[in-house]
Structure 1
């Protein structure tokens, strides 16, 4: 996605240079009929490309879900929208925050630039904010935040597309920093086949960083894995909130029932 932004910005700059050239340096050809082809294309594409760049950079950006780490809330092939200004306004390409707004909170689904390879975008559930102590017991499949058990309630089973074994489904409830509680669906493996991407451990989230986990708890490379632990604030891209289309290339194809699905966590208890 970052490469696309750079290419888009480069094309916008080329269009601007062409228009300025024929406006101030060599205006005579612009008075002819027909006008130069380069100027015609630049005038046509510049406003459209600029609008796309501004919308993607400051308002909302589309992403496609490539893996099952967020099942069952997000399926492979979901196309989602990410709110780019939920956590403040950042400059496109530079990713420099110029205006603070809300802070990422527990229960949010966040898109972020993968710390070991920032050109890749990852999507996970935010579990820990700066200062939190996170503990995960892989054997019991139990999460703890600041010494308190994060409750989960069994809801049934789920069979991911293309899989042969069902997973156990739960609604997990987590407390946000303002005291409200939200719930969201998670999966735990049920059977012999488990991709051992999660490990037991205790982590203290440093200032300016976040701890993230996949909703598909036993099949997610996230902050529990050695590849990366914490997500720096400057790597946060935005908050995922909406599925606008689903198409599984080489899989389940077009699925209209997914369109319009709200994927934000549901508030279950207000602050006291």
Structure 2
């Protein structure tokens, strides 16, 4: 056991060191002080690792285009909307323990109470989370994750990062993501030495995030002057909105983005699964801007 832990630590340290070296080698050069406007834009963008970030963006965009999108199209074709919504709700319910921990750490007892009741009700009456019964009885969902908790504690966002496989992030949010993974009880559930539950939920979360927004994401990439900069801007808007909602202690703060099969006269949005920003997919961010096409034309690259 000690050998496994020691090996894990060594591997993690090597990965972190390698990623750090890659980022440092790909830093953008600040404009000279003789160009105050360009220097001000550089500081406002807060993306000193942009050259490396764009490399990771290109890799993730290729994975999205050639791997995840075809899988998501097959997923939409094979499964009817009610089944997809049920899977989405289950994934959302699985994120409740991490959400509850962050609610407590953010010292938001009402939000923590909502999360606890939602998990209890949806896991039982909602048949393992397939049905969001708690929402219908007055316990709406909300956003909470490690990055937002650190923000509530006053830790600055730090430089923008585009993480391999995870997409838009930042130094603070990246650390928060790691903390969330560590406190997630499902991270440590293994059968015959393999974490099947975590692997399956991660894969399904990626498909679940892309499936409702295949055409929107395609339109965003086609119409935005600079899709990388547009995603960066939209991600920051979303994080600021979510942080403000926590500070204001709002109860229902998750952006609406997932189609609800019970809607009449069009798709009624429901809540996204927690902590799902897989690959370069920022579906909640796109929907927050109104639609991918609107965001592409309205959001100017930074």
Q: TM-score, normalised by structure 2?
A: 0.21
Question: Which structure has greater strand proportion?
Answer: 1
Q: Which is higher, the Rg of structure 1 or of structure 2?
A: 1
Question: Which structure has greater helix proportion?
Answer: 2
